[in-house]
Structure 1
C-alpha cells in the first residue's frame, strides 16, 4: 500500500514538474504575444474564406484568395532590417524588438479595420488591397514576435514557452474566428464586418502589454556587444550574414526542404474546410459551436500535450508521431464528406484534426525555434517560417481546383497522400542526424551575462 502511494506521489510530482513551467512569467508573456500573433492570419484565412463563401464568391476564387497572404511567405526578405535597423527615438526608448512591435501594431489595427469595411462582394479589388496590406503588417509583426519570444525564453523554458505561445496563438485565432463571425453575423450580434474586424483588431493589445512587462530581449544585448561597423560591413552583416550562417550548417538544404513541405497536406485541407462546411449546409450557429468551439478546445489539448511529448520522445520521434497523426486525421473529413450534413461526424473530424494540429504545430515551431541563432533570430526564424508559409500559401493554392475535380471525399484523401513526402524527408533528416541543431551554447552565453 505504501509503495502504491509513493508511486502515485511520484507521478503527481512528475506531472507538476512537466506542467508547472507553463505558469512561469516568461511563458505567460509568450502566451500574450501569441494572442496578438494569432488573430490576423485567422482573419485572412478561416474567417475570410467563410466571409467570401457567404457572399457568393466561387470556390476557385476563394482558393486563390489565399495567395493574398503572400507576405507571410516573403517576410524573410525584410526580416534583416527588423534585426538591425534602429527606429528613431523608439529604439532608444524601448529597444530593437519592442520599438518595431509597437509601431507595427498601430498600423496593423488600422489596416484590419479597413479590411473589414472593404465589401468584397462589391469591391473585390479594394478587399484584395487591404488584405495584402494587412498580411504585410501581420507578417512583420510575426517577425518581431517570433524573434522576441525566442529571446526572452530561457533554454529550459523554450518548449513550454513555445507551447504557451501556441495557446495564445490559438486563442487569438479563436477570437478572430468565433468572435469576428459572431459579431458580424445576423445570427449573432449583427455588427457587420467592418465593426467586427475593427474590434478584433484590439487583439494587438495583449502582445503590447507582454512586451512592456517582459522588457528587452537578449538580442539587444548581442547588438550592444558588437563592435561598430562601417556602412559596407553593416550591410554585409545585416543582409548576408544570417543566410550564410544557416546555409553553412550540415544538412541545411534538407532542413529547408522539410520545412517547405512538412505541413502541406494539412494546409491544403485547412484552406478548403470552411467552404466545404458552407456547401454541406451547416448553419452559422453549427459552424461556431462545432468547428470553432470544439476545434479550439481540441487545439488546447493538443498543444498542452506537446511539451510532455517532446520530453518523452525527443524532437525526432515527436515530429514523426505528430506528422503521422496530422496526416491520418484528414481522413476523418473524407468520412464527413460521405456522410453529408452530420453534426456527429463534423464534431469527430474537427476534434481529431485540431488535437493533432495543435500537437504537430507546437512541436514544429519548437523545432524551428531551436534552429534560430540569437544573433539573427528574426531573419532565420522568418526564413524558416516563410518556407512553411510557401506550402500554406502557394503550394496549397490550387486546393480549390482539386476539390472541384475530385469532390470533397477524394480531396481529403489526396491531402493525406500529399503529406507523405514530408514524412520521407523527416526520415532522411533523422537518419543523417540533422533533426535538431540547437543554439543552446549561444543562448547560454548570452544568459550568463544577464
Structure 2
C-alpha cells in the first residue's frame, strides 16, 4: 500500500478541532434534514391523510435526483451565478441558492394538504429532492476543496455525524412535533404544517453556516464560456430539453416495458429479475434518447460544441488521462466497495422481525443505539485515517464489514437474544461508519479541483449503483438458501474488495498527491 506520514495520536485527535471540520458538522446537519421529509416522514403523513399504499411508494421517486445528480453537477462546476458569485464565491453562492430552494420546497410541502391536492404535494416533493441533491453536490465540492487530502477523512466523519443528527431531527423530531399537536384524534393538516415549518426553520443552521464560513481558497481554471447572458440561456435550454426528453421517455417507455415484464414472468422468469431487466431497458432507452437530443441540439448550434465538451466531456477525460488503465481498477473498487454492507442491509430489518424481535426492540437497538455507533465509527475512521492513512483504514473497513456479516449468520442460528443483538449492531455500525468515512476520504482524493462537483457526483452515484442492483435479489436469495447461508454469502462477496483495495493502494496515490489541483497516479 502507498506510503503515509504517520502522525501521533495527539495530532490525529487535534484534527477534530479544525474549524473546517466543525463546519462540516453543521453542513452535514443541513444535508440530513431533507431526505426523510421525502421518505419515511412523508410516508407517514400520506398514510394518515388516507393516501393508498401503492401511491405512497411512488413518492420515493421524488428522490431520484440523488441518483442522477451527476447530470447537473457540471453546471455547478462551470456556471458562476450572477451577482452572488462576486459576493459569496462559487461554492457558497450555489450553496445559499440550494438551501433557499430547500426551505421553499419544505414550506411548499407543509402548506399543501395531500388529502386535498396530492398532485401539488408530488411537485413539492420533487422540488425538494432536486434542491437537496443540488445542496449535496455543492457540499461535497466544498468539503474536498476546503482542506488538504490528509484531513478529508475527518471532514467526512464530521459530515456523517451531522447528517445522521439531521436525519434524527427530520425523522423522530418532525413526527414528535406532529404527534404533540395532533394528539390521538383524527388527521389534522395543521400538525404536519407546523412540523414541516419547524424543519424549514432547522435549515437555517445550514444557511447561517454558509454565510459565516469562508470560500475555499483553490486554484481553478475558469470557463471561457458562461460570461454572457446568452451563454447561460443557450446552455440551459439544451439542458432543459435533455431533461424533458429523459422524463418523457421514462414515462413512455415504462408503459411499453410493463407488458414485456409480464410476458417474461409468464415465461418462467422471476419477478425480481423481470423487474430489473425491464427497469434497465427503460433507463437505457431514456438515457440514449436524452443523449441524442443533447447531440442534436449541439449540432443545431443551440449550444457550442466546445461548451458541451468542457462541461461534460472534460471531467471524464481528465480522470482517464490521470489514471490511465488503472482507472478501470479504481472504478471497480468504487462500484463494489460497499457491496457486503448494502446487500446485507436490505434484509436487515426483515431479518430482525423474522427472528422474533419486537418493533420497540428494533427501534431501540438498531435505530437509536445503532445510530450512535455509526457516528462513533465515522469519527473513529477519521482519526485512524489521519493516524495511519486512508488506504489502510479503507482495507480495515472492508475487512470488518465482511466479518460482521458473519455475526448475523451466527445470530440467525441462536435463540432471540437482545444482548447479542446489541453486540452485533455495535460491531456492524461501528465498522460501517469507519468504512464510510475512509471511503468518502478516498473518493475525495481522486477528484481534480477543476472538476470537483462533476467527478465526485459520478463517484458517489457509482458507489451504490451495483450493490443496490444486486441487493434487489436479496429476498429471493434468502428464500432459496436461508438467512445463515445468505449472510455468509454476503461476507464472501466482500472478500474480492480487499484485493481491489490492495491493488488500488499500490497503483494510486490519494495520500500524497503531487498537486492539489491535479492529482497523479502510477500508470
TM-score range, shorter chain: 0.7 to 0.9
Match of 2:147 among 123, 146, 153: 153
The alignment status of 1:429 with 2:423, answered yes or no, reads no
| 1: CA distance, partners of 2:407 / 2:447 | 35
Matched, 1:162 2:162: no
- Residue of structure 2 equivalent to 1:7: none
1:199-233, Cα deviation, whole Å (9 max, x unpaired): 445443332222212122235x6256x66689554
Which of 441, 448, 473 aligns to 1:373? It is 448
Q: Is the partner of 1:222 in helix, strand or coil? A: coil
The 5-angstrom pairing of residues 108-257 of structure 1 reads 108-112=102-106, 132-183=126-177, 196=195, 199-218=198-217, 222-223=220-221, 232-250=305-323, 251-257=326-332
The number of aligned residues is: 428
For 1:263 and 1:66, locate their aligned partners in 2 and report how far apart those are by CA, in whole Å: 22
Measured at CA, do residues 418 and 181 of structure 1 come closer, stay the same or move farther in structure 2, by a change above 3 Å? farther
The 1:420–1:438 alpha-carbon spacing in structure 2 relative to 1, beyond 3 Å, is same
Q: So what's the TM-score if we normalise by structure 2?
A: 0.69
Give the direction of change, closer, same or farther, for the CA distance of 1:401–1:124 in structure 2 (3 Å limit). Answer: farther
Partner deviation per Cα, 1:396-442 (whole Å, 9 max, x = no partner): 33444445555554543343233234333323324x51363755513
2:154–2:386 contact (8 Å) kept in structure 1: no
Separation in 2, partners of 1:268, 1:371: 25
Alignment of 1:17-56 (within 5 A): 17-41=11-35
SS at match of 1:249: helix
Normalised to the residue count of structure 1, the TM-score between the two structures is 0.78
Please list, as runs of the form range in 1=range in 2, the aligned pairs for 1:358-437 lying within 5 A after superposition.
358-391=433-466, 393-403=468-478, 405-430=480-505, 432-434=506-508, 436=510
What is the CA-CA distance between 1:129 and the residue it aligns to? 6.5
Distance 1:349 1:441 in 2: 42
State whether residues 174 and 292 of structure 1, in contact with CA within 8 Å, keep that contact through their aligned partners in structure 2.
no
Closer/same/farther in 2, CA of residues 401 and 198 from structure 1, 3 Å limit? farther
CA distance in structure 2 between the aligned counterparts of 1:115 and 1:336, rounded to whole angstroms: 42
CA 1:290/1:141 → structure 2, altered by over 3 Å: closer, same or farther? same
On the 8 A contact 2:12/2:384 being kept in 1, the answer is no
Relative to structure 1, the CA distance from residue 440 to residue 34 in structure 2 (aligned partners, 3 Å threshold; closer, same or farther) is farther
User: Shift of residue 355 of structure 1?
Assistant: 0.5
- Deviation (angstroms), 1:75: 1.4
Q: Is the 8 A contact 2:447 2:455 kept in 1?
A: yes
Give the superposition deviation at 1:45. Answer: 6.4
Q: CA deviation at 1:146?
A: 0.4
- Tell whether 2:70 aligns with 1:72: no
Whole-Å Cα distance in 2 between the matches of residues 157 and 196 of structure 1? 36
Using the TM superposition, give the Cα deviation of residue 338 of structure 1 relative to its aligned residue in structure 2, in angstroms.
4.5
Contact 1:370 1:438 in 2 (8 A): no
Structure 1 residue ranges without an equivalent (≥5): 1-12, 446-450
Where 1:377 maps in the other structure, the secondary structure is helix
Over residues 339-382 of structure 1, what are the superposed CA-to-partner deviations in whole Å (9 max), with x where a residue is unaligned?
57543233222211111111000000000111111111111111
Task: Mark the CA change 1:197 to 1:228 in structure 2 (over 3 Å): closer, same or farther.
Answer: closer
CA distance in 2, matches of 1:350, 1:115: 35
The alignment status of 1:107 with 2:118, answered yes or no, reads: no
Alpha-carbon distance change, 40 to 408 in structure 1, aligned in 2, over 3 angstroms: farther
Secondary structure of 1:138's counterpart equals helix
Name whichever of 244-253 and 106-115 sits farther off: 106-115
1:258 aligns with 2:252: no
Task: Give the 3-state SS of the residue equivalent to 1:436 in structure 2.
Answer: coil
Cα distance in 2 for partners of 1:28, 1:122 equals 43
Distance in structure 1 (CA, Å) of the matches to 2:191 and 2:99: 23
| 1:210-265 C-alpha deviation (Å, 9 max, x unpaired) | 2212122235x6256x6668955443222221111011122112111211111022
CA distance change for structure 1 residues 124 and 389 in 2, over 3 Å: closer, same or farther?
Answer: farther
Match of 2:361 in 1: 286
Call closer, same or farther: CA 1:410–1:180 in 2, change over 3 Å: farther
Instruction: Give the one of 277, 287, 298 matched to 2:373.
Output: 298
Which residue of the partner structure matches residue 354 of structure 1? 429
Taking the aligned partners of 1:126 and 1:284, their CA distance within structure 2 comes to: 33
For structure 2, which runs of at least 5 residues remain unmatched after alignment?
Answer: 1-6, 185-189, 228-303
In 2, Cα distance between the equivalents of 1:301 and 1:344? Answer: 19
- Pair 1:299–1:398, CA change in 2 (3 A): same
CA-to-aligned-CA distance 1:138-173 (integer Å, 9 cap, x gap): 222110100011122244533322322222222223
**Deviation (angstroms), 1:324:** 1.0
How many angstroms apart in 2 are the aligned matches of 1:50 and 1:329?
Answer: 32
